[in-house]
Amino acid sequence: MAYVCSEGSYCNLRLTNGDEYTFSFNLVVFEKKIVEQLAQTAHFFARVGRNYIINSQHIFSINLNTSELVLYNERFCEKFTLHVSKEPLKQLKALLDNSIKS
C-alpha cells in the first residue's frame, strides 16, 4: 500500500503497483481498520493532514516549497506525487527527523 486519499465519504487506496481501489467509508474508518488489521506494522502508516494516510516506508522526498510529498516504490518503479498543505508536511518531516534521531 502506498497511500489512501480521502474523497468525501469515500477513500481511494493506491497500491505500490499503481492499482487503485475505492471504499465506501471515510478516512477515519480506514485509519481504524489499519490499526485493527495491521497491528504489528501499523506504525509504518502516518496520517498526513485531513486527506491522506501514507506508508512512510515509501517516502522519497518532502518539498515544503512546493507542498509536495513524493512516494516511490523501487520494486515497481512507481512514483506518486501528493499535494499536501505545508503544515501537515512540516509535522511529517519533524516526525521523521525525530524517529531518525532516536
| Residue-range domains of the chain with CATH | 3-101 (2.40.50.1020)
Structure confidence at residue 46 (pLDDT): 96
Calpha distance 99→73 (Å, rounded):
21
Q: Region 6-14: what's the mean pLDDT?
A: 96
- Name which of 49, 47, 45 is nearest 84 in CA terms: 49
Calpha distance 59→79 (Å, rounded):
10
Residue 102 reports pLDDT greater than 80? no
Calpha distance 3→5 (Å, rounded):
7
Q: How confident is the model at residue 100 (pLDDT cuts 50, 70, 90)?
A: confident
Structure confidence at residue 53 (pLDDT): 98
**Which residues lie closer than 8 Å to 96 by C-beta, 6 or more apart?**
56, 59, 62
